Chain A
Amino acid sequence: AQSVAQPEDQVNVAEGNPLTVKCTYSVSGNPYLFWYVQYPNRGLQFLLKYITGDNLVKGSYGFEAEFNKSQTSFHLKKPSALVSDSALYFCAVRDRAYSGAGSYQLTFGKGTKLSVIP
């Protein structure tokens, strides 16, 4: 089984400060890891993914995430937050070991609401 935990329902950060949105995962094998963002009344937008290689992944809008296998974490970070970053952020995982129908099974966390305060 695969699972994702986002321990914070909400994160508040002042504009211009660094932000971190936390994610931990559990898989039986090795993971594919993803971050998506959802703005109000919109669908999910892909931000970045970790498949293999460098543990630091850079994505859209200046976001990056660091894969830490020993801590089974994939925290989302940005050096300087913008008010426009305020949204709902979802972490997702898929176990590389899955095949067939399981290849399509992406498990999402509950989401973390990020509020950037001007």
Chain B
Amino acid sequence: DIVLTQSPATLSVSPGERATLSCRVSQSISNTYFAWYRQKPGQAPSLLIYGASNRATGVPDRFSGSGSGADFTLTISRLEPEDSAVYYCQQYAGMPRTFGQGTKVELK
């Protein structure tokens, strides 16, 4: 299985500041098959980014995805209170789909 490793495990950021989350994939994959999700407490995950850099419907432009091959990044440019959540990366280049272990973003 393709393994995804996220860093850091926890990120503490002040409102209005930038948050940068990383995801390393155990093998090089096509950008087409990489996504980021956000999971707020008590809720199901929701899609933020697909195809490594494309925002899903309704996702604010403060969220951006970048990267290629085996290294991908999610940037939240101006953190807002509702961004406090756990963020997961996911690959769908191979079966099974696999997720990273998550990065918890906390507001200072």
Do A and B make up one complex?
Answer: no
Binding site for B on A (CB under 8 A): none
